[in-house]
Structure 1
Amino acid sequence: MTDKLVAEVQVAEHPAFDEFVATIEALRAPDGCPWDKEQTHKSISGNMVEEAYEAVDAIEADDVAHMREELGDVLLQVVLQSQIAADEGEFTIDEVCRDINAKIVRRHPHVFGDVAAGDANEVLDVWDQIKMAEKEEADAASEAPQGLLDGVPRSFPALKQAQKISRKAASAGFEWESVDDVWQKVDEEIAELKEAYAAAPKSSNGKIDAGADASAAAAVELELGDVLFSLVNVARKMGVQAEEALRATCMKFRTRWAFMEGAAAGQGRRIEDLSSDELEELWAMSKVLEG
């Protein structure tokens, strides 16, 4: 059934991809580009993150032309890393494609098998169950089993890392029954944050004075982290991506602030020179213009 279904949808060939792979191979050849020949997995690892973020910026801006360019840059990182591996006798781009294809087919039994998944949330549940089974199988075959959370990169943005961590913990049964239960946890964490803040020494502007009591300042920071982590769990239970939600809010704030700066400039003034009431008035206007 799987082979038949895949065969039915894989009707197009991709000569441009093969041409691109050949181009990168030529760059790494003995008579190729001096810079490309010197690169290693680690030397260009940061480029992968940069290009991914630039692609996300284009996606969020609905800039299709720029998106096409940035996705090409992301693909460059995948193909170049694979060519470096091929040169070192580690693996090839074909093996990368075969591995990810096999994983995607394996983790979509509702498409390529007999498992039922009625909506996107049920698909995620199936995905997590399969990943858990894969981990158990890998642990059984390994002398040093990997921890459940070891697969979550520490380099992830904090909100995305928190949501990945909580999702993995939930897949192992460490989970609240309902969103209301998580909201109760949020209220508990907020109360603990307020208590820690009240006990910490503060400057005249209300900010924590870490110099006066470093441990108290650290306690406030940890309690704030607990509040944020709890809110991430609210997002997860609601089926919302916390990282994307906050990015959307940041973009909304940028748009409103740009309007406010433009309005102030139209009056021949700097936004820094406006009063609090004037700033609030411009903020309200920016919200009205959003519709």
Structure 2
Amino acid sequence: MTAVPDLVEVVDRLLAPEGGCVWNRAQTHASLARYAVEESYELVDAIDSGDDGELREELGDVLYQVVLHAGIASAAGRFDLEDVAAGVRDKMVRRHPHVFGDEHADTEDEVVRVWRAAKAAEKAARTSVFDGVPRAMPPLERAVKLLERLEERADAAIVLAAVVGSHGRRGAGERAGSAGAPGGDRPTAPADGAGAAGAPGGDQGPGPADGSGADGGVAAGVDVAWGAGLLAEVAAAREAGIDPIASLRAAVGRLEGEARAGE
């Protein structure tokens, strides 16, 4: 395989002090963060399109972001692409002891159990199950991720109730239940829906992620009660076997389709 080393050489040439690209040399990990997010969203669009050409191109753009970040770090003598690849290689081996070790996992649930156990051992220094959930994730994706983590706690229902109270809970449960398949089975995703997971990442909006203002109060336009009601809807949908992220993306896709048809 020669294309990957060739790509590393291209990036090294772009970052070269002599004869390189002035724009690339001016970039930092922070200045490039937005492009990593944008390219990830474009990758998800390509996956949804089912077009192999688009998928291959967008995978390449995401790979370029990885190589460029590694090139910037390498130029500063911190780490390089080989270190990045070695790190994720070793992590995947550790987290799949049922493949590379003596563990046994014959079902998806057992694999998740083994994965979580291996990850917990790696992240033993963490003090909360919520550590590692990016604050910059879009709110809906972050809500789902936090609810997933919350399910690992015995007091999950108490914690959720303290936030959402009874606000919209009954209506949310009824609506989510009516939308789901009988018996709480996961419904089939609409044809225009996205995959089971939403796009990763997301730009953090102005101000704190919790919607508070600079003085610690609630920022203008933020209705915490409305947000709590929406959080209750998300929790109820998950209980009914509905994927909130894919479902909303499907609805938004239909909205765009209807709007475009009317143009």
Q: What TM-score results when the alignment is normalised by the length of structure 2?
A: 0.69
> Are the aligned partners of 2:73 and 2:79 in contact in 1 as well (CA < 8 Å)?
yes
Query: Partner residue of 1:63?
Result: 51
In structure 1, C-alpha distance between the alignment counterparts of 2:106 and 2:167, rounded to whole Å = 35
Query: Partner residue of 1:248?
Result: 250
> Are the aligned partners of 2:169 and 2:229 in contact in 1 as well (CA < 8 Å)?
no
In structure 2, C-alpha distance between the alignment counterparts of 1:45 and 1:117, rounded to whole Å = 37
Count matched residues: 211
1:155 aligns to 2:98 (yes or no): no
Cα deviation for residue 256 of structure 1 reads 5.0
User: What letter matches 2:244 in structure 1?
Assistant: A
> Are the aligned partners of 1:128 and 1:168 in contact in 2 as well (CA < 8 Å)?
no
1:227 aligns to 2:232 (yes or no): yes
1:51 aligns to 2:39 (yes or no): yes
Q: Residues 120, 257 of structure 1: CA spacing in aligned structure 2 closer, same or farther, 3 A cutoff? A: farther
In structure 2, C-alpha distance between the alignment counterparts of 1:128 and 1:53, rounded to whole Å = 27
User: What letter matches 1:164 in structure 2?
Assistant: K
In the TM superposition, what whole-angstrom CA distance separates every residue of 1:164-218 from its partner, at most 9, and x where no partner exists?
Answer: 2122233354557xxxxx9xxx995524789xxxxxxxxxxxxxxxxxxx99x83
Which residue among 215, 223, 244 is the counterpart of 1:218? 223
Cα deviation for residue 245 of structure 1 reads 3.3
Q: Residues 37, 233 of structure 1: CA spacing in aligned structure 2 closer, same or farther, 3 A cutoff? A: same
> Are the aligned partners of 1:107 and 1:127 in contact in 2 as well (CA < 8 Å)?
yes
Q: Residues 33, 163 of structure 1: CA spacing in aligned structure 2 closer, same or farther, 3 A cutoff? A: same
In the TM superposition, what whole-angstrom CA distance separates every residue of 1:119-138 from its partner, at most 9, and x where no partner exists?
Answer: 333322322222222222xx
> Are the aligned partners of 1:166 and 1:233 in contact in 2 as well (CA < 8 Å)?
no
> Are the aligned partners of 2:169 and 2:233 in contact in 1 as well (CA < 8 Å)?
no
Q: Report the structure number with the largest CA radius of gyration.
A: 1
Query: Partner residue of 2:17?
Result: 30
In structure 2, C-alpha distance between the alignment counterparts of 1:108 and 1:29, rounded to whole Å = 39
Query: Partner residue of 1:190?
Result: 168
Q: What TM-score results when the alignment is normalised by the length of structure 1?
A: 0.63
Which residue among 40, 64, 68 is the counterpart of 1:80? 68
Q: Residues 97, 23 of structure 1: CA spacing in aligned structure 2 closer, same or farther, 3 A cutoff? A: same
Which residue among 86, 92, 112 is the counterpart of 1:98? 86
The CA RMSD measured in Å over matched residues stands at 3.1
In structure 2, C-alpha distance between the alignment counterparts of 1:241 and 1:106, rounded to whole Å = 29
In structure 1, C-alpha distance between the alignment counterparts of 2:116 and 2:237, rounded to whole Å = 18
Cα deviation for residue 71 of structure 1 reads 1.0
In structure 1, C-alpha distance between the alignment counterparts of 2:247 and 2:170, rounded to whole Å = 25
> Are the aligned partners of 1:55 and 1:71 in contact in 2 as well (CA < 8 Å)?
yes
Cα deviation for residue 107 of structure 1 reads 0.8
The unaligned stretches of length 5 or more in structure 1 are 1-13, 140-144, 177-181, 195-213, 263-291
Structure possessing the higher relative contact order (Cα contacts under 8 Å, 6 or more residues apart): 2
Query: Partner residue of 1:129?
Result: 117
In structure 1, C-alpha distance between the alignment counterparts of 2:79 and 2:235, rounded to whole Å = 41
Q: Residues 147, 172 of structure 1: CA spacing in aligned structure 2 closer, same or farther, 3 A cutoff? A: same
User: Could you tell me the percent identity over the aligned residues?
Assistant: 35
Q: Residues 104, 41 of structure 1: CA spacing in aligned structure 2 closer, same or farther, 3 A cutoff? A: same
Cα deviation for residue 258 of structure 1 reads 4.5
> Are the aligned partners of 1:27 and 1:37 in contact in 2 as well (CA < 8 Å)?
yes
Query: Partner residue of 1:167?
Result: 148
Q: Which protein has the bigger helix share?
A: 1
In structure 1, C-alpha distance between the alignment counterparts of 2:139 and 2:133, rounded to whole Å = 11
Q: Residues 48, 130 of structure 1: CA spacing in aligned structure 2 closer, same or farther, 3 A cutoff? A: same
In structure 2, C-alpha distance between the alignment counterparts of 1:191 and 1:146, rounded to whole Å = 30
Q: How does 1:199-218 map to 2 (within 5 A)?
A: 218=223
Larger displacement relative to structure 2 (159-168 or 78-87): 159-168
User: What letter matches 1:63 in structure 2?
Assistant: D
In structure 1, C-alpha distance between the alignment counterparts of 2:10 and 2:98, rounded to whole Å = 38
